[in-house]
Amino acid sequence: MYNCYCLFISLFYYISLVHADEDNWIFPDGFLIGAATSAYQIEGAWNTSDKGESVWDRFTHADSGRIEDGSNGDVAADSFHRYKEDVQLLKQLGVDFYRFSLSWTRILPTGYANVISKVGIKYYHDLLDELEKNDIKPFVTIYHWDHPQLFQDMGGWASEAMVDLFGDYARVVFKEYGHRVKFFFTINEPDVICETGYYLGIKAPGLQLGRYGQYVCAHNLLKAHARAYHIYNEEFRAQQKGKIGIVIHSHYYYSKYGNDTVSEDVAWQFAFGKYAHPIFSKEGDYPDSIKRRIAENSKFEGLLRSRLPTFSREWVDYIKGTSDVLGFNHYNSYNVEPILGSNKTIYENDDGLVYTHDPKWPKTPTSWLRIVPSGLLDNLRKIKDNYGDIEVYITENGIADTGELTDTQRMGYLYSYMKAMLTAIKTFGCNVKAYTVWSLLDNFEWQNGYKERYGLFHVDFTDENRTRSPKKSVPWLTNVIKTRNLQPPMDGP
């Protein structure tokens, strides 16, 4: 009798635990789920009608061996002609929203705001019409890396002239589309632009300008973002009533040694805080930790001033608070450990850190991308710790395959990362409002060409029709979106 009662109690307890556990994987009311792409990666039609040349057109056409498979985005997924198919894919998934970007040189062929392309403007209106018909909200990224080549010839993001030029472009976007777009993102992943485009030179415009060039780029991007925000705020918000923010990405960084209490934060501040702190913190400006390291290093190397540019008080105030929401992209984590400076410097690469992967973290086809779901949870908690309860929209998350339709690894990845996100929301009170899979469909993956495929839908790039086919994750994800319940994929994570 006693045993039986006990069994009954434990069974009851077990059932309620399982039940509680199930409840944890239900998405909060009003939570938005979507999929993302960007203009250069999917549109093609690079020289249709009056479209101007972008840095990505120039970079890929240079045929300099920097694109792994020698390919380019001239046709890509041909979404310029096939956007209606794309919207049907979104419809099939049942997403709440579609995050896509606008091509600056399709809308403004010369880059300047005085010549507006009728064809370019119409293309995005047609796409918006199609989304509206299918009840899918547009999340519009104004700039996802494809600025006009002419402006690059003037220095690109190494030049402060871009602040006004970007503001003028953003104003055209708000004027044309703001009455029907309620979510704008100004700039996608500023750190990728500056690190890979102006420091490493592996993405357009392919420059290696040293750390100073990288920081000047960051400085101008922050100013340009703030300019666009203020234009929206002052000239459009009252009528259009939308939200506007920036998209910043971060890996998570784990100190390799338990006795190292600083590296985790230093790495995070260098990658993420550099952009987030000036916008989202109470005091504004760059984080102290990175200002200090860069200044010490610059002095040691005999520079007359820090190679991290300084914001005037006016600019600190102008940039502070310029995002209604944080767009957050996340994929991967690193271990970090301090590295001894050489005799030329104190902190190697200014941050003084070495980045490695734990060999236990599962690999994916992308060399830098390992599967570490806790990295998303820890980022969301750190964002809350640093900036309070700001609204966070996860604007990208996903992994690549190499062309197969049976994307078992992707299902496991998305499942485990969404689980980490729901834990952040339900257990730690993180204010996450949306989740976005990168990407809707296979596309031009920058320097990796068409070798790494991030799509939920496969695209046959050898077929003139660029035929789209659902991968195995599509029915699973469709069901998650429909039921608002994160069920594990059949094959398990």
Ligand X SMILES: *[C@@H]1O[C@H](CO)[C@@H](O)[C@H](O)[C@H]1NC(C)=O
Catalytic residues: 189, 396
* Stretch near ligand X under the rule CB under 6 A, chosen from 274-282, 315-323, 361-369, 461-469: 461-469
Q: How far is the CB of 337 from ligand X (least distance, A)?
A: 8
Q: How far is the CB of 210 from ligand X (least distance, A)?
A: 19
- Which residue, 118 or 313, is less far from ligand X as judged by CB? 118
Which residues, 6 or more positions from 255, have their beta carbon under 8 angstroms from its beta carbon? 261, 262, 263, 264, 335, 336, 337
**CB burial of residue 36 (10 Å; 0-12, 13-18, 19+):** buried
Stated length of the chain: 493
* Stretch near ligand X under the rule CB under 6 A, chosen from 76-84, 300-308, 368-376, 457-465: 457-465
* Stretch near ligand X under the rule CB under 6 A, chosen from 93-101, 112-120, 352-360, 463-471: 463-471
Of 114, 312, 343, 462, which lies in the binding site for ligand X, with binding defined by CB under 6 A?
343
- Which residue, 465 or 485, is less far from ligand X as judged by CB? 465
Helix axes 408-426, 473-483, angle to 10 degrees: 20
Q: How far is the CB of 462 from ligand X (least distance, A)?
A: 9
- Which residue, 208 or 465, is less far from ligand X as judged by CB? 465
- If one asks whether residue 314 binds ligand X (CB under 6 A), the answer comes out as no
Q: Provide the residue type at 343 as one letter.
A: N
- Which residue, 46 or 268, is less far from ligand X as judged by CB? 46
Closest CA to 181 of 239, 134, 137: 137
- Rounded to an integer, what is the distance from CA 277 to the centroid of its chain? 17
- Which residue, 139 or 254, is less far from ligand X as judged by CB? 254
- Residues from 210 through 269 that contact ligand X (CB under 6 A): 257, 259
Of 6, 7, 23, 47, which lies in the binding site for ligand X, with binding defined by CB under 6 A?
47
* Stretch near ligand X under the rule CB under 6 A, chosen from 278-286, 290-298, 318-326, 459-467: 459-467
Q: How far is the CB of 46 from ligand X (least distance, A)?
A: 6
Count of residues engaged in binding ligand X, rule: CB under 6 A: 8
* Stretch near ligand X under the rule CB under 6 A, chosen from 121-129, 143-151, 321-329, 462-470: 462-470
- Which residue, 178 or 338, is less far from ligand X as judged by CB? 338
The CA R_g of the chain, rounded to the nearest whole Å, is: 23
Q: d(Cα 219, Cα 436) in Å, to the nearest integer?
A: 27
Quick check: 145 and 204 in contact, CB under 8 A? Answer: yes
- If one asks whether residue 21 binds ligand X (CB under 6 A), the answer comes out as no
- Which residue, 68 or 460, is less far from ligand X as judged by CB? 460
Q: Provide the residue type at 57 as one letter.
A: D
Q: How far is the CB of 106 from ligand X (least distance, A)?
A: 14
Q: How far is the CB of 444 from ligand X (least distance, A)?
A: 13
- Residues from 68 through 87 that contact ligand X (CB under 6 A): 74
The residues binding ligand X (CB under 6 A) are 47, 74, 257, 259, 343, 463-465
